[in-house]
Amino acid sequence: MHFSKDKTMSEVRVLVGTRKGAFVLRSDEQRKDWTIEGPHFPGWEIYHITGTASDPNRLYVSQSGGWFGQVIQRSDDAGKTWQTVSNAFAYAGVPGTHQWYDGSQHAWEFQRVWHLEPSPNNPDSLYAGVEDAALFHSSDGGASWQELSGLRSVKGHLWQPGAGGMCLHTIVLSPDDPKRIFVAISAAGAFRSDDGGMNWQPVNQGLKSDQELPDAKAEVGHCVHSIAMHPARPNTLFMQKHWDVMRSDNGGESWHEVSGNLPSDFGFPIAVHAHEPETIYVVPIKSDSHHFPPDGKLRVYRSRSGGNEWEALTNGLPQSHCYVNVLRNALAVDSLDSCGIYFGTTGGQVYVSADSGDHWMPIVHDLPPVLSVEVQVLR
């Protein structure tokens, strides 16, 4: 998420990563008429395409595929031209092992980059969350990567992959403290560093995983799907867990459930309104294994009270025979005065609401399955 207050005519740029390429959707602040550009990198899986807050024309892309592995692309001109940067993600020291499906120990092996998170003040500084789960940092715009290996020392030998792989998919940088970093890993949990990534602690107290873990309140092993923070409230975090929507008001030290009246407390993404720190959004999904909206109705749920009381947002969304999913990186908000909400589906639709979720319209219907959505507002 990238925030800026905009009083003049603005351009909105939506960056969409899909299973078969990247797309850039452009509009003005009305967000009614859109142009669609792409696919960039056709045929490749784009797990994430994102901009940088301090240089909106600097974009980064995680491009990968089964044949040719991982590529990282960088653009300095908003996607007109691209250059590859380093794809050498070497675990620090002896990589070691983690838990495997059969209970044995399995060597850490790099698979792909799930998430790229640029620092808010320096476009050359960015973090990469990878599978097998680890966090890397680059201080030279992706020309080289160094692992912040202290993370894996937090009982990493006990982590084991979930159905989606053992991926570090969420990176949240605290806006008021450049040394504070939160990350989330599927089937491992949430973790926090207060020293720029050297040392880490699990921040999973209050999470309960009755159906996934023998010890439902274990220190690690919880399947966290995503975490969101409003920049004005850096100690308040919202989490969509495999089951349960959770909230912390003390920087992750403890969590409590705020699923309330949701039709399903399973889902993948969670987001916070740009101007209302207590207004949050989730997309409930039926599970286990179904992974489509309950009752075939695609509904975004909004809570204006920081959780517990939720309202269904349906105006403009399909309310019958809809069986798509919305993945963890595929929900975003913009920073315009009338806050825009965006999400992409595994059916290839990208929806926008220009009024905080009250009304929705599809920007595009038939993209490949959407993996990630990010929004930039440009003056």
Partner 1 sequence: MIRVTLPTHLRALAQVSGAIELEVAEPITQRAILDALEEVYPMLRGTIRDSLTQQRRPFIRFFACGEDLSHEPAEAVVPHEVVTGKEPFRIIGAMAGG
The minimum distance between CB 71 and partner 1, in angstroms, equals: 7
Are 338 and 358 spatial neighbours (Cβ–Cβ below 8 Å)? Answer: no
The minimum distance between CB 41 and partner 1, in angstroms, equals: 8
Tell me which of 10, 27, 62, 87 binds partner 1, using CB under 8 A.
87
* C-beta closer to partner 1: residue 70 or 99: 70
The minimum distance between CB 44 and partner 1, in angstroms, equals: 7
Find all residues with CB under 8 Å of 39, minimum gap 6, and list them: 18, 20, 21, 22, 23, 368
* C-beta closer to partner 1: residue 143 or 198: 143
The minimum distance between CB 66 and partner 1, in angstroms, equals: 6
Report if residue 81 touches partner 1, rule: CB under 8 A: no
Tell me which of 5, 37, 90, 379 binds partner 1, using CB under 8 A.
90
The stretches of the chain forming alpha helices (DSSP H) are: none
DSSP state, 91? P
Comparing C-alpha atoms, which of 273, 335, 276, 277 is closest to residue 300?
273
* C-beta closer to partner 1: residue 44 or 310: 44
The minimum distance between CB 120 and partner 1, in angstroms, equals: 29
- Which stretch in 48-56, 81-89, 119-127, 348-356 sits in contact with partner 1 by CB under 8 A? 81-89
Are 284 and 262 spatial neighbours (Cβ–Cβ below 8 Å)? Answer: yes
Are 331 and 281 spatial neighbours (Cβ–Cβ below 8 Å)? Answer: yes
Give the number of residues written for the chain. 379
Subset of residues 15 to 74 that bind partner 1, contact rule: CB under 8 A: 43-44, 65-71
Burial pattern 221-232, b for ≥16 Cβ within 10 A else e, equals bbbbbbbbbbee
Q: Residues 95, 100, 104, CA angle at the centre, nearest 5°? A: 90
Are 263 and 293 spatial neighbours (Cβ–Cβ below 8 Å)? Answer: no
Burial pattern 43-70, b for ≥16 Cβ within 10 A else e, equals ebbbbbbbbbbeebebbbbbbbbeeeeb
* C-beta closer to partner 1: residue 144 or 235: 144
The minimum distance between CB 180 and partner 1, in angstroms, equals: 31
* C-beta closer to partner 1: residue 53 or 72: 72
The minimum distance between CB 84 and partner 1, in angstroms, equals: 4
Report if residue 97 touches partner 1, rule: CB under 8 A: no
The minimum distance between CB 138 and partner 1, in angstroms, equals: 15
Cα 169 from Cα 359, distance rounded (Å)? 29
Report if residue 88 touches partner 1, rule: CB under 8 A: yes
Comparing C-alpha atoms, which of 259, 219, 221 is closest to residue 239?
259
- What's the count of helices (H) and strands (E) in the chain, helices before strands? 0, 30
Token pair of 285 as six digits: 């999904």
* C-beta closer to partner 1: residue 114 or 182: 114
* C-beta closer to partner 1: residue 35 or 81: 81
* C-beta closer to partner 1: residue 66 or 103: 66
Q: Which residues bind partner 1 (CB under 8 A)?
A: 43-44, 65-71, 83-84, 87-88, 90
